[in-house]
Amino acid sequence: MRYRLLELLACPRCREPFALETFELSLDGHGEEEVEQGLLKSACGAWFPIVDGVPVILPNALNIYSQFAERFRDRLPPWQFSAEEIAQFEREKKKTQESFGFEWTIYSAVHEERDRGYALEGDLTPEFFRGKLVLDAGCGYARHSRVVQEFGAEVVGLDLSVAVRNARRLTRDNPKIHIVQGDLFAPPFPHETFDLVYSWGVLHHTPDPRRAFEGLVDFVKEGGDISVKIYRKRPAPAAVVESLIRKVTLRLPLKTLYNLAYLCVPVNWFYWKLGRHIPGVRQAILGVVKVDPNWRIAHIDTFDWYHPQYQFHFPMEEVVSWFEEKGLEQITGAESKGVRGHKGVRRADLQLAR
Ligand SMILES: C[S@@+](CC[C@H](N)C(=O)[O-])C[C@H]1O[C@@H](n2cnc3c(N)ncnc32)[C@H](O)[C@@H]1O
Ligand SMILES: [Zn+2]
């Protein structure tokens, strides 16, 4: 964790800045000092660990990083979250934390062209990002954080899962990318911090996508933007088949499901050779597996379709109505792509500025 990140973080309980206690330092590839192990302490009494260079702002931080808790046990204050608070958090989010942690630990391939295309959804251009401070909410292994930084932004990637470890590995030597393990229902930043809050393929995997979206809007500066990619409503037959298959897959151990997803590889091959040209067969294949000219992507996308605990789909009009009801302006987006909205400057602030 770079010292710069300390300026951007705030305690999710009281919104005050953190004080830093350092246990171990390291040097990045440019010889810049980073906090490798340490604590972030809030005036309200809350504290959170920094584990292997990543702040972990979660109620179950010490359960995930028990080796850290053991190694520094003489230097740690009592944990502020009650057993009940931790259990409640884990009831809602542990499965998501684990399954995405598994997915983005086993897979963290970078495909520059593709990642760039995704990052620009929501009608964005590379110029749009230049000089901006961006929150990549639900960053996974930070494939989009990297692209957005290359466009000229400074980025904070936030994710619930241990995917942050791969995210940090992939972005370690970039001083304009910061990685935090945290929950987008309790983002550890002051309100109105970011020029752009960007969230690609995340909100539909939370227990309450609309509440997650509304919460994120609070972290956008006045005059800033929010851009989100959310699964769209699928036609009824496909949605029914998907929910039936998911009833089974959600009960399987992750490794078993990951291996089973390899069954899509020959189907994917057939799809590209012939199946996509045969009406009916095309729809049948697209109803049960993900296809891609790259078989590895087809495999990981198929696994990605069947492991998440929460998987909601929304019609475009509904997503747009969330933006409107939060008072966002200049809403743009296309079916199956990202949607973006702008947070106007409040009238009172305009008058003061005159
Ligand atoms: C489909 S992945 C997308 C990752 C990344 N945006 C990308 O496109 O590569 C969804 C990500 O959302 C994260 N996530 C789910 N619920 C979250 C929450 N409550 N807070 C933060 N991240 C969350 C998961 O850990 C996972 O990495
Ligand atoms: Zn606090």
Q: What is the CA radius of gyration of the chain?
A: 21
* Percent of the chain residues past pLDDT 90, beyond the cut: 85
Centre of ligand 1 from the C-alpha of residue 305, in Å: 13
Q: What is the pLDDT of residue 219?
A: 98
Q: Tell whether ligand 1 has an atom less than 6 A from the beta carbon of residue 312.
A: no
Domain at 112-232+319-353, CATH class: alpha beta
Q: What is the pLDDT of residue 29?
A: 83
Q: What is the pLDDT of residue 232?
A: 84
Residue 1 has pLDDT above 70, yes or no: yes
Nearest CA to ligand 1 atom 3: 201
Considering every ligand atom, which ligand is closest to the CA of 188?
2
| Residue 247 φ then ψ, to 5° | -60, -35
Q: What is the pLDDT of residue 236?
A: 79
Residue 18 has pLDDT above 80, yes or no: yes
Q: What is the pLDDT of residue 350?
A: 61
Task: Compute the average pLDDT of residues 329-338.
Answer: 84
Top-ranked range on mean pLDDT: pick from 107-111, 119-123, 294-298: 294-298
Q: Tell whether ligand 1 has an atom less than 6 A from the beta carbon of residue 139.
A: yes
Question: Three-state SS for 79?
Answer: coil
Task: Compute the average pLDDT of residues 204-226.
Answer: 97
Q: Which of 95, 112, 159 to mutate to test the pocket of ligand 1 (most atoms within 8 A of CB)?
A: 159
Q: What is the pLDDT of residue 234?
A: 78
Task: Compute the average pLDDT of residues 53-59.
Answer: 98
Q: What angle do the packed helices 143-150 and 163-171 form, to 10 degrees? A: 30
For residues 299 and 165, give the distance between their C-alpha atoms in angstroms, rounded to a whole number: 22
Centre of ligand 1 from the C-alpha of residue 104, in Å: 10
Which residues neighbour ligand 2 (ion) by CB within 5 Å?
11, 13-14, 42, 44, 46
pLDDT band with cut points at 50, 70 and 90 for residue 201: very high
Task: Compute the average pLDDT of residues 84-103.
Answer: 97
| Burial group, residue 29, by CB count within 10 angstroms (0-12, 13-18, 19+) | exposed
pTM as predicted: 0.95
Q: Name which of 27-31, 59-63, 120-124 the model is least confident about.
A: 120-124
Q: What is the DSSP letter of 75?
A: G
Residue 274 has pLDDT above 60, yes or no: yes
Nearest CA to ligand 1 atom 13: 138
Residue 349 has pLDDT above 90, yes or no: no
For residues 158 and 143, give the distance between their C-alpha atoms in angstroms, rounded to a whole number: 12
Task: Compute the average pLDDT of residues 276-301.
Answer: 95
* Chain region(s) in the chain for CATH 3.40.50.150: 112-232+319-353
